[in-house]
Structures are given as C-alpha cells and as structure tokens.
Amino acid sequence: MSLTNKFFSLLGFPEPISLKRFNSKNSLPENVVLLSISKQINSNIEQALLQLPTNIIKSASDLTEKSIAALIIDATNYIDESSYQQLYLTVKNTLRHLDSNAKILIIAHAQSPNKNVDENTFSQSLIGFSKSLAKEVGRKASTTNIIFIADEAHDSHLALSNPINFFLSSKSSFISGQTLTINAVNNLINPPSKTKKIAVVTGAGQGIGSAIASRLFDEGYFVIGIDIEPMKIQLTNVMKTLQGESVILDVSANDAGSKLVTLAKQHGGFDLIVHNAGITRDKTLAKMPENLWQQTLNINLLSVMRINKALLMEQSINQGGRIICLSSMNGIAGQGGQTNYACSKAAIIGYVKSMNTKLAREKITINAIAPGFIETQMTKKMPFFTREMGRRMNALGQGGLPIDVAEAVTFLGDELSFAISGQTLRVCGLNIIGT
C-alpha cells in the first residue's frame, strides 16, 4: 500500500479495488441471476435477457459457482406491504455470494398518475434503496443501478436488452446508484441505409473528447473531430489515427452552426453529435469578471443550443439520430467558485429534458452525461489533497477514466437505445455528495 493510500485509509477511505473495464473478452458475465420479489418473473425482462449471450439462473440456490457476477432484481410486481419485506430478503440472501466487480440491476415500473399511491411510493423507495446498496457494495468495486419502465413502454422487451447489456457489463464500471427510464418504444426505426454512420465530436483533441472519438471509431462510425485552433496538432493526430476528419472551429462562434450544416450536407447528414467541448473559468461570483461568466456560458451551453437549432432547422441530423450533451456533477451538486460552470452544466440537464418531446417527432433522441471525477491532464494539475479527495469521494473510492464516459456515449448513441431520451446519466461512481 502506498503512503497516499495509507494516509487516506486512516481518514476512512480504504484502498479501492481496481475496476474491471471492458475488453473483447469480458463483455457480459456467463451467468445472470434473475430473482423476483414476487412469485412471477416479468416476461418482458425474461424476453430481453434471452436476446443476450448469457445463461439465466432463476434461483440463487441453483448457482454452480460460489459467486454472483450479475444479479437482476425484478421489482415490477408490487403486491402489498409485503413487497418491502421481499425486497429485503431477496437481496440480502444473495449478498454473501456477490463477487467483486459484480453488477446489481433493479428493474421496476416508473411512477405514474395511473398507479396507486402504494405502487408509486414503492417505486420511489427503490431509488434510496439502490443508492444506499451501491455505497455498500462499492467497497468491492461492485455497482447497483435501476431501470424504470414507463407505462407507455408496452413491449418493453424490445427496449430493455441494450440497457440490461450495458449495466451488467464492464462498460458501466464507473456508473452506480443511477436510474434510467424506458419510455415509449414506438420510435424504433430501421438502421440508417448508409454504409457508415457519421459522428461529430466537439473538443475531440484530447482527454474525454479524444476517448469518445476513439470509441466511436471502434463502433464503426466515421468520426468528425472538432476543436479550436490551439488544439490543431493534437486534433489532427487523433483524427489521423482514427481515419476521420479534423475540423478547426470555435463552437461559440456565430457562424458555427451554419458551418456544421454545410459539413453535414457533404456527409449526407449526421447520425450522432456529441457536444463535449467545454471550459472552466473559476472565480467566486463576487470576483468574477463578466467576460469569464459569458465565455463559460457561451461555450458550455449556448453553443450547444445554437448548433442544435441550426442543424435541426436544416434537417442535418438524420432520422434516428442521437444528440448527446456533456453536463457535469458540479451542475448537479454545485461547487464554490464555479457559479458560471455549474449554471451552464445544470442548464444542459434542463435543456435535454425539454427538447425530448420535440425531437421524438423526428425519431431523434437527446440525452446528457454528467461525469464526476475523471482522470485527465486537467485533474493532474489539481492540488494534491483536492485531487485525492476528488478521487475517493464516491462509492467506488476512485476516479473514473475517459473511457468510462466514452462507453456511456456509445451506449446512449446506439440505435438500440431508442427508448431512452431526455435523461441524464451520471458517470461518477456514485458521488457521495450531490446524487
């Protein structure tokens, strides 16, 4: 154990277990344990699992191994007050078999005006339960998340397979204590007829943006990377490696939207646009010059809104397209000295939620990703104690990597994520504050 880890262990932060991240050999566990809080298992969940390359075990007693790598709790059938007791017993009796780096996924019905008070109360209780459980199992580098199914998602098995696959795989290693909702599934369309889909990533020259571009290339996209003039060399090198196209552009410029419209016409429209470009200009509000306030809002928020407006007006995003905007945990929890940054990143969350209904008519989804502490060149420059505390202030006790954000982008950008829109997925290891 290093001196740093010994010091933080004395402060109550034990040395974390390393996270298993995705590679071609460890996508899904061989076995998935599927247990229900009632006597019946939801048929949509079972059908969704049958589409995945894994074995379904419906009883913990049937385990041939001593450890559980993936556990699904079917909480879709609230019966009465006894459902709380069954939730407790079902999960408790499996925890002793839980492996390190295990995945727990709770699936339940979302709250709805069509449901009675008892059912809605139970649904809300699962959020507190899962976040607390996530903080307990996080010591073993394990995660807990929830998928809610909305009333209108009648054939939800069509939309469940991809989220289940993501949350049970090592692609979601730094995501815990989070919820996603499966909405209406009537916007499923055929894949684009083009042989190669086009993805645009802003701020692609380094860090998270570079990781996103690389991951999308792996998924078969032709990637257009965008960055500013000072990043020209880095961007050119990244895009050359990915056989993509580099574009030098200030996204906050007045003509950025029109330039991207022209670019979209050259490529037959965009299939995925990732608004990753962002800046921090930290000062307490009392000492913040107006230019730092405006610059941060322009780049982090207003450029996103203006570019999307231009692209949508000219139908430059193809039907079935995906828009993903980068928010931040500081937009959720706030941070001293970052009123400008937190304002812009909180606004992104409200923006994607508000745009959801409008874009659904075009069969386009829009979502946000809110990273927590991600290990980048920027975090290396932080003061030692601030950096180390940032790493440890989550359920998994460690910082995330750019690839963790890139995996989330790939998941939400997938055509099989058609029933997830207007939502924010936090890639933060379950921050202790602000979730």
Q: Across residues 231-248, what is the average pLDDT?
A: 97
Mean pLDDT of the chain: 90
The better pLDDT of the pair 346, 389 is held by: 346
Q: Report pLDDT for 49.
A: 95
Do 105 and 164 touch, CB atoms closer than 8 A? yes
Q: Report pLDDT for 66.
A: 63
Which of 78, 88, 221, 341 is an active site residue?
341
Q: Report pLDDT for 6.
A: 58
**Structure confidence by residue, pLDDT tens digits, 291-328:** 999 999 999 999 999 999 999 999 999 999 999 999 99
CA neighbor of 331 nearest in space, from 363, 362, 371, 375: 371
Q: Report pLDDT for 252.
A: 96
Q: Across residues 360-365, what is the average pLDDT?
A: 90
Please, what is the angle between helix 207-218 and helix 402-413, to 10°? 50
Highest mean pLDDT among 13-22, 151-160, 353-362, 425-434: 353-362
Q: Give strand pairing partners of 68.
A: 98
Looking at domain 198-427, its CATH architecture is 3-Layer(aba) Sandwich (3.40)
Residue identified by tokens 């995330």 is 400
Q: Which CATH class is domain 28-182?
A: alpha beta
**Structure confidence by residue, pLDDT tens digits, 254-302:** 999 999 999 999 999 999 999 999 988 988 989 989 999 999 999 999 9
Torsion 115-119-120-126 (CA) sign:
negative
Q: Across residues 340-345, what is the average pLDDT?
A: 94
Q: Across residues 75-83, what is the average pLDDT?
A: 96
Q: Report pLDDT for 151.
A: 84
pLDDT at 187 over 90: no
Q: Report pLDDT for 160.
A: 95
The better pLDDT of the pair 21, 216 is held by: 216
Calpha distance 240→403 (Å, rounded) = 19
The better pLDDT of the pair 185, 336 is held by: 336
Question: What is the pairing mode between strands 424-427 and 270-275?
Answer: unpaired
Predicted TM-score (pTM) above 0.85:
yes
Q: Which residues contact 30 (CB under 8 A, 6 or more apart)?
A: 54, 55, 69
Angle 295-296-300 from CA coordinates, rounded to 5°: 120
pLDDT at 1 over 60: no
Q: Report pLDDT for 99.
A: 93
- The full DSSP string for 253-321 is STTHHHHHHHHHHHTT-EEEEEE---------GGG--HHHHHHHHIIIIIHHHHHHHHHHHTT-EEEEE
User: Of all residues in the chain, what percent carry a pLDDT higher than 90?
Assistant: 75
Task: Please indicate whether residue 78 is annotated as part of the active site.
Answer: no
Model confidence at 337, pLDDT cuts 50, 70, 90, reads confident
pLDDT at 385 over 70: no
Residues of the chain with CATH 3.40.50.720: 28-182, 198-427
Q: Which residues contact 326 (CB under 8 A, 6 or more apart)?
A: 208, 274, 275, 276, 278, 348, 368, 369, 370, 371, 405
pLDDT at 61 over 80: no
Q: Across residues 95-109, what is the average pLDDT?
A: 95
Torsion 191-196-199-204 (CA) sign:
positive
**Structure confidence by residue, pLDDT tens digits, 111-156:** 999 999 999 999 999 999 999 999 999 999 999 999 999 987 767 8
Calpha distance 131→133 (Å, rounded) = 5
